[in-house]
A and B are shown apart, each in its own frame.
Chain A
Amino acid sequence: MAIVIIDGQEIEVGDDERLNGIQAAKRAGVDIPHYCWHPGLSVVASCRMCLVESGTRDPASGKITMVPKLVPACQTPARANTVFVTNSEKVQQARAMVEEDLLIRHPVDCPICDKAGECYLQDYHFEHGQKERRADIKPFTSRRRSLGPTITLFVDRCVMCTRCVRFTREATGTNELMVIHRGAHEEIDIFPGYPLENKLSGNVADLCPVGALGDKDFLYEQRVWFMKKHAGVCSRCSTGCSIYTEENQDRIYRIKPRENPHVNKWWICDEGRYGWKHVHAAERNTEPQRLEGDDYVNADWSTTPALLDKQLRDADNLAVVLSPFLTVEEAYLLAKYARRVNKHATIALGFVPVVGEDETYPNGFTIRAEKCPNRRGVEEVASRMNGGLVAWDDFLARAEAGEFDAVWITGAYPEPWHDEATAQRLAEVPLLIVQDLLPSPLWSIATWRLPSAAYAERDGSFVNHADRLQSFQWAIRPPAGVMVEGRLYWRLLGEKGLYNARSAMLEVANEINYFAPAHHEPPPLGIDLKTSQLASTV
Chain B
Amino acid sequence: MKSQDPAIRWVDEPKLGLAGKMYLPLFLQGLTVTTKHLVSPKVTVSYPDQEPQIDNPLIYRGVHRLNKDAQGRVKCVACFLCATACPAHCIDIVGVESPWPDREKYPESFTIDELRCIFCGMCEEACPVDAIELTSLYNLTGRSREEMVFDKEKLLSVYEATKDAEPMASVRHGLPTPSSEGTGAPQSAAPPQASPVLQGDVHTHSH
Q: Which residues of A does B touch, CB under 8 Å? A: 109, 111-112, 138-142, 144, 219-220, 223, 225-226
Contact = CB atoms under 8 A, between A and B. Distances in A.
B178 A220 contact: no
A112 B84 contact: no
A142 B95 CA distance: 17
B105 A220 contact: yes
Contacts of B95: 220
Given A140-B178, A219-B97, A220-B95, A111 B102 contact: no
Given A112-B104, A223-B84, A138 B97 contact: no
Contacts of B20: none
Contact of A141 (B78, B79, B104): B104
Contacts of A111: 77, 79, 81, 128-129
Nearest to B127: A111
Nearest to A116: B79
8 contacts: A112-B77, A112-B79, A138-B178, A140-B178, A140-B181, A220-B97, A223-B84, A226-B80
B103 interface: yes
Contacts of A220: 78, 95-97, 105
Provide the main secondary structure of the chain A interface.
Answer: loop
A141 B80 contact: no
B52 interface: no
Interface in B133-180: 176, 178
B182 interface: yes
B8 to A, nearest CB: 16
Contacts of A112: 77-79, 104-105
A112 B105 CA distance: 7
Contacts of A139: 178
A141 B97 contact: no
Interface string B86-120: 00000000011100001111000000000000000
A223 B178 contact: no
B84 A225 contact: yes
Interface in B47-85: 77-81, 84
B79 to A, nearest CB: 3
B129 A141 contact: no
Contacts of A142: 104
Provide the main secondary structure of the chain B interface.
Answer: loop
A141 B84 contact: no
The 4 closest A-B pairs by CB, nearest first: A111-B79, A112-B105, A139-B178, A223-B80
Question: For the side of the interface on B, what is the size category?
Answer: 10 to 19
Contacts of A109: 104, 178
A205 B181 CA distance: 29
Contact of A144 (B80, B84, B104, B129): B104
Nearest to B178: A139
A214 to B, nearest CB: 10
A285 to B, nearest CB: 28
Contacts of A140: 178, 181
Question: Most chain-B CB neighbours within 10 Å: which of A111, A138, A142, A144?
Answer: A111
Given A220-B97, A223-B80, 8 more contacts: A109-B104, A112-B78, A112-B105, A138-B181, A141-B182, A144-B104, A220-B78, A220-B95
Contacts of A223: 79-80, 84
Contacts of B128: 111
A118 B174 CA distance: 33
Contacts of B103: 141
Contacts of B97: 219-220
Nearest to B108: A220
Contacts of B77: 111-112
A223 B84 CA distance: 9
Nearest to A142: B104
A139 B128 CA distance: 11
A227 to B, nearest CB: 12
Nearest to A221: B95
A225 B129 CA distance: 20
Contacts of B176: 138
A304 B97 CA distance: 47
A451 to B, nearest CB: 29
A52 B108 CA distance: 47
A463 B105 CA distance: 43
A109 B96 CA distance: 16
A138 B129 CA distance: 13
A219 B77 CA distance: 14
A133 to B, nearest CB: 16
A453 to B, nearest CB: 29
Contacts of B182: 141
B196 to A, nearest CB: 31
A225 B80 CA distance: 10
Question: Most chain-B CB neighbours within 10 Å: which of A140, A141, A220, A223?
Answer: A141
Nearest to A140: B178
B81 A141 contact: no
A472 to B, nearest CB: 29
B37 to A, nearest CB: 44
Nearest to B97: A220
A119 to B, nearest CB: 14
B95 to A, nearest CB: 5
A223 to B, nearest CB: 5
A138 B178 CA distance: 8
A220 B129 CA distance: 18
A220 B97 CA distance: 7
Nearest to B129: A111
Question: Most chain-B CB neighbours within 10 Å: which of A109, A142, A226?
Answer: A109
A435 B76 CA distance: 47
A144 B128 CA distance: 22
Contacts of B129: 111
A112 B78 CA distance: 7
A223 B94 CA distance: 11
A142 B84 CA distance: 24
Nearest to B103: A141
Contacts of A225: 84
A142 to B, nearest CB: 7
Contacts of A144: 104
Nearest to B81: A111
Contacts of B104: 109, 112, 141-142, 144
A140 B81 CA distance: 18
